[in-house]
Structure 1
């Protein structure tokens, strides 16, 4: 039984093969030219001797040619311990992976050999050469002759000398490199063992491989959720206005208009405003409609608000915000330079605007594309610097022996087997850069498609509940017991065999993120690119169905049911902000074929990008896991030499965490206190928070300022890429799960209030913490130098040196906890803080992107009209002076413009009228020449419009602002675009208008 077990372990490669033979006598001897190194081979600090042999007086060294199965016959190892033999079982570059820690105790030596008689070594066979070198090492280079009793003593004390070299074995036609270690037995025989692997070393490599597999399957979970989470990207909040906002609206589908407006909205601007589009369908066209707005719907990104327990104080976050997101432009003196044009004084001569801030953002984005794969760059560096030469030598040596390259799944990396220039890796590089190029394309349509598909897929992955998947699998397993009763016990084996593949597929798809994204990317690529499911009534008797079609539909229905069950909320981005992107490439069969091909190509592109990222991540993560494993192994094995350095490194990490954690704690306390104070100021907060989450919507609350300060009016802004609301005193956001948040800008302003205990700007405190940390590091450095210096002089043991290092390293922590500190705690109930926060609240305003417009028609209240009429009748009876003034003003305003013009014409001579007419014509021609945009209208036409035609919102449904003409579905005909009379400076124009100006209508840019 023991022999069978040994054979099984040998077949598995976990047990080495051994064989013994007598040492023959030869007529050739080898001796080192210099024997001084041999005296120090048994030094207690040496665990492994590494010899590099070279023959003296040979033009063609026989150690480098015709070596047979011996790989690198010129390199041998000598060891007396299991530690040394274990090092030989590791990867060939274990010194690099362990950061040279495992090389402690490894002594390399270059040995020059000479043969006696000269030339005999080159005339013997390859096996005899190996035996001579082996005997030379086992006999300690013949410095001292070993007796049989000495060899027996070494075997009893586990101090047997082993001579090891590398050989290649034929493993089913593949060349497998192993170590052959030999030792002398007391009876004079030579015992050689082909060591494959140790069981613990095999387990180590299996664990490293499992980590790589886990990274491959669960790698998408390492991506930060704020990059694709809907709640972080753009959450929708509702702001209830305490005083309704009244505006004037004008909707038109015509290309001809004579309406002045403050803000113009096109089809593209309102494409995602569903409620606004529904209300527009009920309003008449080409009429000025008074509207009122009682609530605002805004989009709030997660990076613009902060919750109670996440103050923005992290060192990495601060560096990312200031350097990557260019928030450093808000600091002096960057705020004076970032918004300046790169063209300086020549800016008017260039059509496009380009500031230093825009250049810096573009440069940083391009730089980040190349900086993100830094871990993979390090992996490539390790390959070309330490692995490529050895791998090529082994590959060539295997070919010279007529063997193929052996791939060890546990020990060999993919990049070692294929090389970084393999087609698979080149394709990964290409798809990596194509992914960033597709996102950064100038065409928003293409970039939005890619981002929409990726965000929806990752969001669905985030919404998958693994417990729901387990419930689905249990429901499938219990189905026969539910429907068949006791018969299920008889059919259970057959049912298990049939349903096991289906259950395994469900588990793999929904529990392994990489496989889930593979399916989900194709799913959303199909849905996002002009896919409309044909809803066919299954109960219609007019449709003839084949049994196969009915069965397929039933399976599809069950799959859809499972898909909805495993998601905690199947509410992807598609239901909130994303939409279908239509294709206008024809109709009929060709259109369907093109659409299908586009869906497949986009899906393949997204999946290829996913696997490219994962492949690079697996290789980079795998090498770092190996480095960590080998480094920890070296620290444990060589604890006496490395423990004091490790303890010092741990102290540095502890102090670094302590310094920056103090900053975090101070801002966390301040943030909680501020949010509590703001929540106390908000009215109806408890009423809203008491509602269940299913009935509660995310709400933004405005805080009422002090009575002496007027409210900041809410304004509709469209001076940038998207419409925004400028809202004042909007200080608190409460989501459906009752999580309070405040604006990040408000937090930064409150940090800078001049109150005792206020933390101040974040970057100032981080700089102070960094300064304290560097002072502690310098102190620890001096402690370590003192300990090592006196340790070497007085021969202090490594254990005592470690204890001394720890004792000296804890001095700063003891001083911090023992000595009294002068710290001022923040008290929010003081009069000074109340005044400061009231001042900030009264002046705080911020722009928020519009998510939708909820409007109503502003119809006059009949009760108010009756009251006004009653008051007018009473005033008329009394004959009040206000009524007289009102009538006098009305008589002045009701005067016809024609009468005023006639009176002026009577007063002026005819020559002046003619000169004025000629002057107006000359000005009109000059302005036509200076006109740059065909869709705009010159100022003379704008100034000729009456005040009654001025509106706040002008909804233009006739043309969309796209780079190409607006195309109708299935045709290439374009709708003509016309001037819509934009008015950016309406206040100046309004003051320049008079009642005597005639109305002028503009049609296609010509004045009538």
Structure 2
């Protein structure tokens, strides 16, 4: 009887086999210890059941050992809908990527199983274990026995029960993990199929992969342009002066020169002043030369001026300026503390000065280095928290099956395939930090090299015109039709095959920013480090070259032509701050080899830094895109449960934008009104703006103050790291494209004027907007609580709850638009505003870095009548008389101005009285305004005393040898005797004996220079 039963079971097993899966019956039965969970499996709100099985009374659970091709035999899924089967097609951590929204309707359960007879489950084969678990799930854990009619009804109503588990398949020697789902047919057969990826899910992963590829190719475009745009970094503006500045200049190459000066300029200070270097090269050395400055050339950074349509009112920009750029020191509580020394009373004992502001800036810069890759930190957290265990388990399981790890290009990320501790990622981390270290090095030569190469490369990328690239490609394609006529139709296929690779290369280089920067970084690394183009006449008949060299030269010429065509504004190396960094490490062959090695190493370093940033950006952006895609999917498929939360979140975003946009609109209106008012005050603005952009230079305009107030004198100051002009009433900047801008400091001062309608400080309005937004958020929170509370009590549908949430959420907007508001509009034509703005204009002054120094010799001006009379009275024999020389010398000292009788009387007084009077005058000037005291370029100043004759405004010290130390780690190596370079003395403490010991400086006659 037992043998007949065994044969019958074998026959039934053969009949129920489908797709090669043996579902043979055994004497072993499985039952859950607790069957209560099985009653709720068909709940309408459940789309997917997830079971975690465990055997009872087993020291070594057979579900965890010897599982064959079944991966995690202890984990199974049960579903009746396509929604549930679609979830199994997603990534294994879809719950994390969707922020648990896709887990709505997923019911996990831990089930404890017991076998009967005990121990039989461990003695059967792996395939039989899987079949027992599969039948247990398909039969609803034997709580209710299904008939064939019930199974047929389920198949017709699309409510078929599927039992799915994960298996590994041999895919050309690689282990590919898939889900195998089985269901019962009406005839009792078991139908198992390997789940095939859905076309829409595959398209989703393809789109995510395309986004990653686009980030890799176009990632550099995500960097804000103001970080490398030359026009934003430092634009050159010209300020025309109504009256020339009069100064005295002294140029020397001697280290032992004794001269008194107001400002000393070294070779390093004037290294970028090209015109100034050309002019002083024609001046004699060790002579005092009267000069005049007709115009000022200044450098204006984009962050110091604002255009008409970009008021600095953004919340993120305000936080960045105050916290990152440490502009919070301008506020009243901080301005007293930030400039104090961290050493307090022990400051004199330390050599270097260190203030709290310097410490805060250093700390913020270091902190920003670690805060910038926050998205990548999140990516690493997700990997180690939710991915690493599963990936290691799959990798080990594939090895146990003798299979290699399978890499899915669309589903697997680089960090999942390599891990964050792979050598590639470690190199990316190293180059990331090396980038900031190289920029922050104390050696300016190294940091300037790196910044100059990167800035020029990104600037060129910004100047590439894609339409010009298309024109170049079309010109190449039409070349045979232009030169061969109808024969081009015959040669078109061959020509296309030959030129297709070249056209593809041109398109990739100029249209894909990452590839473009790869080549451009090497290009600028070669040009920036001691590279000089050899200007040799290639067409000279005296030079003979090999045909191969001629072809190479021709190809190079064509490439250069294409390069210039696709750039709308290709900047030369010598423009602005972009200069060549010399490399003097030898001569001849050794020099060339070292130069090439340095160029290659610098290029490789810059490119490595670029790809390190891009790799980290691709991984961070990829995970963010996946989170967005899976979250949107969860919101759509679970709209009934999530729509009210989404609508509330959208309302919060709408109100946040509305609150902060009101601040922006008020400042935008104010900024436009202020710029219009300043433009009306500027003279000759329309004349300058009417010029074409090619002929117009960027100009800064000064506004004439009211007649009762004197102009602020322009002064040359050198109190910081670079020379600067202190200019008063400079209120408007107009670039070559007629874009008006005003100084940011002026905008902030005008915002604080006490006029009805003036917006006030930016941070005050942002705090008010934040307070309003917080009140609205609290109101929306209470609306949502009320809707959810009554919705659960009265069983209101999710659609009605969503509508109620939206209705309550729009109440603040309705109140804002219906109720009257007390708003004061700004009127610039009122007397109070004009008085306030006139007061600000009269007192406004600001320092601007010097871009170049335009100087001219101060030639004495003699009237025609005086010159004729002088020539008639003085004979030819008296031209060289000492009296005439003395007269001309005095005229040159006085800048060509006639003396009156009072000055002649003062000249006749003893020198001691003149010096004593001069000392008293200087003592009185010390109590006056500091700006007037330190003014270095007082307009129309007269030099009447002996001290003035031996005093110069600009002292150009060329005594330091012009040597290049490109990789020097510390400051300049120049050495000047401190005793010979004395600053301006304190005339109050001077003694009369100073006249006898004063160094004699020859005053040069301008007529004889």
TM-score, normalising length: structure 1: 0.89
1:481-517 deviation digits (Å, cap 9, x = unpaired): 0000000000000000000000000000000000000
The 1:965/1:919 distance shift into structure 2, 3 A limit, reads farther
CA distance in 1, matches of 2:3, 2:58: 48
CA distance in 2, matches of 1:908, 1:479: 88
CA distance in 1, matches of 2:98, 2:143: 34
- Aligned-residue offset at 1:981: 3.1
**Secondary structure, counterpart of 1:994 in structure 2:** helix
CA distance in 2, matches of 1:550, 1:10: 86
CA distance in 2, matches of 1:826, 1:162: 71
1:355 aligns with 2:360: no
**Is the contact between residue 922 and residue 987 of structure 2 (CA under 8 Å) also seen in structure 1?**
no
CA distance in 1, matches of 2:479, 2:345: 79
The 1:573/1:365 distance shift into structure 2, 3 A limit, reads farther
The 1:47/1:9 distance shift into structure 2, 3 A limit, reads farther
Which one is further off, 289-298 or 890-899? Answer: 890-899
**Secondary structure, counterpart of 1:295 in structure 2:** strand
The 1:971/1:776 distance shift into structure 2, 3 A limit, reads closer
1:382-404 deviation digits (Å, cap 9, x = unpaired): 00000000000000000000000
The 1:1003/1:106 distance shift into structure 2, 3 A limit, reads farther
- Aligned-residue offset at 1:694: 0.5
The 1:960/1:729 distance shift into structure 2, 3 A limit, reads farther
1:948 aligns with 2:949: yes
**Secondary structure, counterpart of 2:956 in structure 1:** strand
**Secondary structure, counterpart of 1:564 in structure 2:** helix
**Secondary structure, counterpart of 1:995 in structure 2:** helix
**Secondary structure, counterpart of 1:926 in structure 2:** coil
The 1:849/1:150 distance shift into structure 2, 3 A limit, reads same
- Aligned-residue offset at 1:540: 2.6
**Is the contact between residue 247 and residue 937 of structure 2 (CA under 8 Å) also seen in structure 1?**
no
- Aligned-residue offset at 1:253: 1.4
The 1:421/1:564 distance shift into structure 2, 3 A limit, reads same
CA distance in 2, matches of 1:1007, 1:867: 22
The 1:57/1:891 distance shift into structure 2, 3 A limit, reads closer
CA distance in 2, matches of 1:2, 1:844: 110
CA distance in 1, matches of 2:817, 2:929: 79
**Is the contact between residue 663 and residue 765 of structure 1 (CA under 8 Å) also seen in structure 2?**
yes
The 1:156/1:907 distance shift into structure 2, 3 A limit, reads closer
1:867 aligns with 865
1:254-292 deviation digits (Å, cap 9, x = unpaired): 222222111111111111111111111221211111111
CA distance in 2, matches of 1:917, 1:106: 94
List alignment gaps of at least 5 residues for structure 1.
none
**Is the contact between residue 635 and residue 642 of structure 2 (CA under 8 Å) also seen in structure 1?**
yes
- Aligned-residue offset at 1:27: 1.1
**Secondary structure, counterpart of 1:555 in structure 2:** helix
- Aligned-residue offset at 1:956: 1.0
List alignment gaps of at least 5 residues for structure 2.
none
- Aligned-residue offset at 1:168: 0.1
**Secondary structure, counterpart of 1:940 in structure 2:** coil
The 1:390/1:789 distance shift into structure 2, 3 A limit, reads same
**Is the contact between residue 178 and residue 195 of structure 1 (CA under 8 Å) also seen in structure 2?**
yes
1:601-654 deviation digits (Å, cap 9, x = unpaired): 000000000000000000000000000000000000000000000000000000
CA distance in 1, matches of 2:15, 2:351: 77
1:154-195 deviation digits (Å, cap 9, x = unpaired): 000000000000000000000000000000001111111101
The 1:745/1:896 distance shift into structure 2, 3 A limit, reads closer
1:330-351 deviation digits (Å, cap 9, x = unpaired): 0011000101111111111111
TM-score, normalising length: structure 2: 0.89
**Is the contact between residue 235 and residue 299 of structure 2 (CA under 8 Å) also seen in structure 1?**
yes
1:240 aligns with 2:251: no
**Is the contact between residue 376 and residue 619 of structure 1 (CA under 8 Å) also seen in structure 2?**
yes
The 1:272/1:669 distance shift into structure 2, 3 A limit, reads same
1:778-822 deviation digits (Å, cap 9, x = unpaired): 000000000000000000000000000000000000000000000
**Secondary structure, counterpart of 1:144 in structure 2:** coil
Q: What number of residue pairs does the alignment pair up?
A: 1006
The 1:322/1:351 distance shift into structure 2, 3 A limit, reads same
The 1:552/1:119 distance shift into structure 2, 3 A limit, reads same
**Is the contact between residue 713 and residue 932 of structure 2 (CA under 8 Å) also seen in structure 1?**
no
**Is the contact between residue 893 and residue 949 of structure 2 (CA under 8 Å) also seen in structure 1?**
no
**Is the contact between residue 238 and residue 698 of structure 1 (CA under 8 Å) also seen in structure 2?**
yes
1:554-604 deviation digits (Å, cap 9, x = unpaired): 000000000000000111565221110001111010010000000000000
2:965 aligns with 964
- Aligned-residue offset at 1:982: 3.5
Which one is further off, 883-892 or 326-335? Answer: 883-892
- Aligned-residue offset at 1:962: 9.5
**Is the contact between residue 947 and residue 990 of structure 1 (CA under 8 Å) also seen in structure 2?**
no
- Aligned-residue offset at 1:762: 0.2
1:939 aligns with 940
CA distance in 1, matches of 2:915, 2:945: 20
**Is the contact between residue 724 and residue 847 of structure 1 (CA under 8 Å) also seen in structure 2?**
yes
CA distance in 1, matches of 2:11, 2:436: 49
CA distance in 1, matches of 2:13, 2:353: 69
Which one is further off, 222-231 or 25-34? Answer: 25-34
**Secondary structure, counterpart of 2:109 in structure 1:** strand
1:209-241 deviation digits (Å, cap 9, x = unpaired): 000000000000000000000000000000001
Which one is further off, 684-693 or 944-953? Answer: 944-953
- Aligned-residue offset at 1:196: 3.3
The 1:203/1:15 distance shift into structure 2, 3 A limit, reads farther
**Secondary structure, counterpart of 1:18 in structure 2:** coil
1:673 aligns with 673
Which one is further off, 845-854 or 883-892? Answer: 883-892
Which one is further off, 954-963 or 682-691? Answer: 954-963
**Is the contact between residue 529 and residue 581 of structure 2 (CA under 8 Å) also seen in structure 1?**
yes
- Aligned-residue offset at 1:966: 13
1:37-59 deviation digits (Å, cap 9, x = unpaired): 00000000000000000001111
1:835-879 deviation digits (Å, cap 9, x = unpaired): 0000000000000000001111110xx764456689999999999
**Is the contact between residue 245 and residue 939 of structure 2 (CA under 8 Å) also seen in structure 1?**
no
- Aligned-residue offset at 1:977: 9.6
**Is the contact between residue 293 and residue 856 of structure 1 (CA under 8 Å) also seen in structure 2?**
yes
- Aligned-residue offset at 1:68: 0.1
CA distance in 2, matches of 1:392, 1:670: 61
CA distance in 2, matches of 1:341, 1:445: 29
The 1:988/1:396 distance shift into structure 2, 3 A limit, reads farther
